[in-house]
Each structure stands twice: as C-alpha cells, then as structure tokens.
C-alpha cells in the first residue's frame, strides 16, 4: 500500500543452481536480492527470506505468503521465530491487519 492506494509490483527472479534459491537485481536501485524459499507446503503458505545488498549496506527481509486470509497462530509464530533468527527485532517484525477482500483494491 502507498497512502490510500495499493501498488502492484512485478519482479523477475532468476533461478540459481540451488533449489529454492533465486536472484534478482533491481533495475531502479541496483540492489542485489538473494531470495530463499525457506519452507512451504504449497497448499497454505510459503516462508521466504531475502538478503538485499546495495552500495549503502545490506538488509534482511522475511515474508510469509499465504493462500488464505488467515494463518494459524502456529504459522505466525514460526514466521516470528524465523525472523528473529535472521536478526530482526520485534519492532521490525510486522504482521499486517486484514483489509478488504483478497484480489480487491483494498487488500
């Protein structure tokens, strides 16, 4: 979301030789992204970790994708725990509230 609008972004990830790992270079910012699908059951969720490197430093991003509007408390705890293991603090771990219907402009 950006203000009161949702913005859609598309990025083309390139497969690496390691299963579940991809790379991406931002044409806009020049940052290099190393993406790792940490865990998934394909029916419910995917836990993805990204290491981002740019000339000003590096950062870590952890995302939990879901095929449903709600995930179990166990899945959310798994996300939180994994994020902490990657060096993120509780202030840096965000679980966004549900808004609107999936696929609508309000989500």
What is the pTM for the complete model shown?
0.78
Note whether 75 and 64 are within 8 A (CB).
yes
Whether the per-residue pLDDT at 1 is higher than 70: the answer is: no
Q: What is the pLDDT of residue 105?
A: 41
pLDDT, mean of residues 32-55: 95
CA distances (Å), origin 69, targets 12, 49, 106: 25, 21, 13
Each residue's pLDDT tens digit, 67-91: 988 888 999 999 999 999 999 999 9
| Domains, in order of start, for the chain | 14-89 (2.40.128.20)
Contact 65, 50 (CB under 8 A): no
Confidence of residue 101 (pLDDT cuts 50, 70, 90): low
- Mean pLDDT value across residues 18-36: 94
**pLDDT, tens digit, for every residue of 57-69?**
999 999 999 998 8
């Amino acid at each position: 979301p950006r203000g009161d609008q949702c913005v859609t972004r598309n990025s083309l990830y390139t497969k690496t030789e390691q299963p579940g790992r991809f790379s991406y270079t931002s044409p806009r910012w020049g940052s290099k992204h190393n993406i790792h699908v940490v865990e998934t059951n394909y029916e419910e969720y995917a836990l993805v970790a990204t290491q981002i490197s740019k000339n000003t430093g590096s950062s870590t991003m952890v995302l939990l994708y879901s095929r449903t509007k709600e995930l179990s408390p166990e899945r959310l705890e798994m996300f939180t725990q994994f994020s902490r293991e990657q060096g993120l603090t509780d202030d840096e771990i965000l679980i966004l509230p549900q808004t609107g219907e999936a696929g609508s402009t309000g989500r």
